[in-house]
Each structure stands twice: as C-alpha cells, then as structure tokens.
C-alpha cells in the first residue's frame, strides 16, 4: 500500500473516542420540544377559514377588472385579521395555539429593525418576555416541562443575539457602553423577578412535601394502608416536580449569568466595577442566606445536621468576603462560585436523605405516573391530577373522621 493510501485509510478510520449517544438523544428531545413550540406556519390554518366562499376564477377576473380595489381589499383584510389575531396572541404561553403567532410577530419586528441597536433592544424585550412566560408557566398547577424548556431555549437565543450585536457594534468601533448598561439593567431586573418566582414555587412545593409527610405518618398510624400509598405516590410526584423546577431554574440562571458577564464587560470600566461589586455582593448574600436556611430547616424539621457539613463551604465563603473587602471582585466571585457549588452539594445530599430518589426501575414507574397524571390533568376539566383529587378525598375523609371523633 502506498503511503497516500495508508494516510487515506487512517483518515477514514478517524473515530471520535467520545460516546455521543447521550448527547444526541438529549438533543433530539430538545428538538422535539422546540418543534412543538414552533410549528410550521402553514399548518396553523383554521379549517373554517380555508373553505373558499368565492371561486378562484371569479377572484381572478375581479382582480383584473379592478386592480386597485382588489389590492385595497387584500390589505385591509390582512390587517384586520392579522392585527386581531396578533393582539389576541400577545399573552399566550408556549404550548398554546396562538403562541406561534406571537413568535412570528416578534420575528417580523426583529427582521425589520432599523438598526443593530434597535434590534438589540428588541431582542432584549423578547428576552424579557420569555422570562415573563417562564414565570407564568411555573406558577401553573402542574407546569409542563416541555413548554418551560421551549421558553428557556428561546431565552438563550435572544440573549445570545443581544450579546452578539453588542460585540459586532464594538468591533465596528462604536461606543457600546451606554447600550450595554441599559440592556444590562433591564435584564438584571427581570432576572431578579424570575429568581424570586422560582424561589416562591420551590417553597410552595416544599410546603406541600411537609404537609404530605405529616399526613402519611398519620395514615400509617391509623393503619390506613391505602391512603398512605396514595399519599406516598403524590409525594413522589411533588418531589419530581421540585427536581424538575430546580433544573430549569439552574438552566435559566446559567444562561442569564453568562450573558450578564458578556454584556457588562462592554460597559465603562467604573460602571463595570460597580456592576461586579453589586453582583458579588448579591452572591455572597445568597450564600449566607442559603447556609442559614439549611440550619433553620434542620431545626424546624427536627432533622439535625452535623456542623462539619459546612467544613468545605465556610473557608471559601470567608475568602470570598475577604476579597470583597479588598475590592478584588474577580477573586471574590471566583471563591463565591466555588462556595456556591459546595452549597449545592450540601443541599443535594440533605435533599436526598429526606426524599430519596427512587431506584431506576421505580423511576420509570414514577415517570409514567407523573406523565399519566399530567395527561389526566389535561383531559379533566379542573387542573388537578388524579393523585391530587385522591389526596383531597383523603383530606375530607380525615376531616369528617375528626369531626366524627369530636362528637
């Protein structure tokens, strides 16, 4: 074999060492969600609108005879119908029928943007809109994770467009510091809002968990095996919801943080410094709150945690605070990020001790149960899952029991 042939043979056999199956599968599901949220526009035709009232031939002859009138009629009809539908779509959420119309309207506005700066502002507006949508979805009774993911994906698209435009304008030699500052502050404000909403929902779910656990213990005391089982299933559902929520929270946080860093690096140096200081201060405060929360919860729950679970966390936090005092915000941020991942580990291990994640085979059953209850929710008139309805039955049952006992 000639050397050339040997080279070619080796080229053809260049195998990528990495196992890509996991990534490719995950990407496929993301795409399916994206497709669901963004169907092709032609397929959105309403049936009754597509039935022709007038024959095509007669329309042709009308247009030929009265071209001006014909075009006016077309314009007016389009304006009337699309304006109405567009307005109606303004508050729609991913997964709703009119959502694609909303997105289409946004795309049109973006493509006719007069300048890169106005496009950047538009994309910022759209990013804010995505955050509003995410907030609304997570406050629903049983948030649909596909819709949530679709909104988060779009959020990422908008934010990267914004930072791309800013970078491009900078490359052209324009002063982008003012624009960066403005965009940054509006995104920051909305991000705060969104984080608050996630926190509230998480607390909600934690409350539900505690509630259910109390009831389960009670049911077991009364040897009510059936109720105990139903309540345990419901508890698993809530655990799952909480985990899914946490994941989306982290996803959106990551996207917004990265974007924030890119954009704030384009601001004026002293404003950047102020921004860094603000950001680092926030993170340090969050860390302290996080630790306090863990300690408080352990006290309230009566599930003590040993003080040395914070042994890796504490020195990192104090180093962060130290650097902060010396105004080295980059270092402070670095330590804070490390402390943050420590804190997540601690939270996770506590979480797993309290609400053990089910084993593999059980996991699939739980997923089926979760999906089944979501499916039933979609089909029932109320927004409650089967388990929720059962849970409430048990609630009223135990209440009547109580009242019975009192008599």
Partner 1 sequence: MAKEKEFLAAYDKYAAGILKHIYFRVNNWTLAEDLSQETFFKTWNYLAYGSGNIKNFKTFLYRVAHNLIVDHYRRKAKIPLSLEAINAEEIPDNCTQEETTNLLINKELVKECVKELDDVSRRIIIYRYVDDLEIEEISELTNKTENNISVIIHRAIKILKVKINGKICLTKQL
Residue numbers at the binding site for partner 1 (CB under 8 A)? 1, 3-4, 6-8, 10-16, 18, 20, 23-24, 27-28, 30-32, 34-35, 38-41, 43, 100, 103-104, 107, 153, 157, 164, 167, 171
DSSP annotation of 358 reads P
Nearest approach, Cβ of residue 165 and partner 1 (Å): 12
Nearest approach, Cβ of residue 121 and partner 1 (Å): 21
* Pairwise CA distance, residues 292 & 285, whole Å: 11
Nearest residue (CB) to partner 1, 13 versus 382: 13
CA angle 218, 206, 30 (to 5 degrees): 125
Nearest approach, Cβ of residue 187 and partner 1 (Å): 20
Nearest residue (CB) to partner 1, 36 versus 72: 36
Nearest approach, Cβ of residue 76 and partner 1 (Å): 25
CB 291 within 8 A of CB 310: yes
Nearest approach, Cβ of residue 265 and partner 1 (Å): 14
Number of neighbouring beta carbons within 10 Å of residue 5:
9
* Pairwise CA distance, residues 327 & 320, whole Å: 10
Q: Which of these, 204, 348, 347, 344, lies nearest to 283 by C-alpha position? A: 344
Nearest residue (CB) to partner 1, 142 versus 160: 160
Nearest approach, Cβ of residue 18 and partner 1 (Å): 6
Nearest residue (CB) to partner 1, 2 versus 300: 2
Long-range contacts of range 326-334, CB-CB < 8 Å, 24 or more positions apart? 327/277, 329/273, 329/276, 329/277, 329/279, 329/280, 330/276, 332/280, 332/284, 333/276, 333/279, 333/280, 333/283
Q: Which of these, 284, 253, 274, 118, lies nearest to 187 by C-alpha position? A: 253
Helix axes 177-221, 145-171, angle to 10 degrees: 160
Nearest residue (CB) to partner 1, 257 versus 366: 257
E strands along 103-218, which residues?
none
Nearest residue (CB) to partner 1, 28 versus 199: 28
Nearest approach, Cβ of residue 154 and partner 1 (Å): 10
Nearest residue (CB) to partner 1, 160 versus 337: 160
Consecutive H or E run containing 272: helix 269-301
């Amino acid at each position: 074999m000639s050397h050339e042939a040997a080279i070619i043979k080796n080229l053809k056999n260049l195998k990528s060492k990495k196992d890509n199956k996991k990534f490719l599968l995950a990407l496929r599901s993301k795409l399916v969600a994206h497709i669901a949220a963004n169907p092709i526009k032609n397929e959105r035709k309403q049936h009754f609108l597509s039935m022709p009232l007038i024959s095509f031939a007669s329309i042709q002859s009308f247009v030929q005879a009265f071209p001006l009138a014909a075009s006016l009629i077309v314009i007016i009809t389009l304006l009337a119908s699309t304006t109405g539908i567009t307005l109606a779509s303004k508050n729609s959420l991913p997964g709703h029928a009119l959502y694609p119309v909303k997105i289409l309207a946004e795309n049109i506005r973006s493509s006719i943007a007069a300048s890169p700066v106005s496009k950047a502002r538009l994309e910022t507006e759209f990013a804010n809109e995505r955050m509003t949508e995410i907030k609304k979805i997570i406050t629903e009774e049983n948030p649909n994770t596909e819709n949530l993911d679709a909104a988060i994906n779009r959020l990422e698209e908008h934010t990267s467009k914004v930072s791309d435009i800013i970078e491009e304008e900078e490359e052209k030699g324009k002063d982008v510091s003012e624009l960066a500052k403005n965009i940054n502050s509006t995104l920051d404000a909305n991000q705060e809002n969104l984080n608050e909403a996630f926190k509230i929902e998480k607390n909600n779910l934690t409350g539900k968990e505690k509630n259910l656990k109390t009831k389960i213990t009670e049911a077991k005391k009364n040897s009510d095996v059936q109720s105990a089982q139903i309540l345990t299933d419901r508890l698993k559902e809530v655990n799952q919801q909480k985990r899914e929520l946490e994941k989306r929270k982290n996803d959106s946080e990551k996207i917004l943080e990265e974007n924030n860093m890119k954009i704030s690096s384009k601001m004026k140096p002293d404003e950047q410094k102020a921004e860094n200081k603000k950001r680092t201060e926030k993170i340090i405060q969050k860390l302290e709150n996080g630790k306090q929360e863990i300690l408080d919860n352990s006290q309230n729950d009566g599930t003590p945690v040993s003080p040395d679970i914070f042994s890796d966390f504490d020195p990192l936090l104090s180093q962060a605070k130290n650097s902060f005092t010396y105004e080295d915000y980059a270092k402070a941020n670095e330590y804070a990020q490390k402390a943050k991942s420590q804190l997540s580990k601690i939270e996770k291990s506590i979480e797993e001790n309290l609400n053990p994640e089910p084993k593999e085979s059980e996991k699939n059953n739980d997923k089926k149960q979760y999906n089944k209850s979501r499916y039933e929710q979609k089909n029932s008139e109320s927004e409650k899952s089967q388990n929720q309805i059962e849970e409430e039955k048990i609630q009223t049952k135990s209440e009547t029991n109580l009242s019975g006992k009192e008599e």
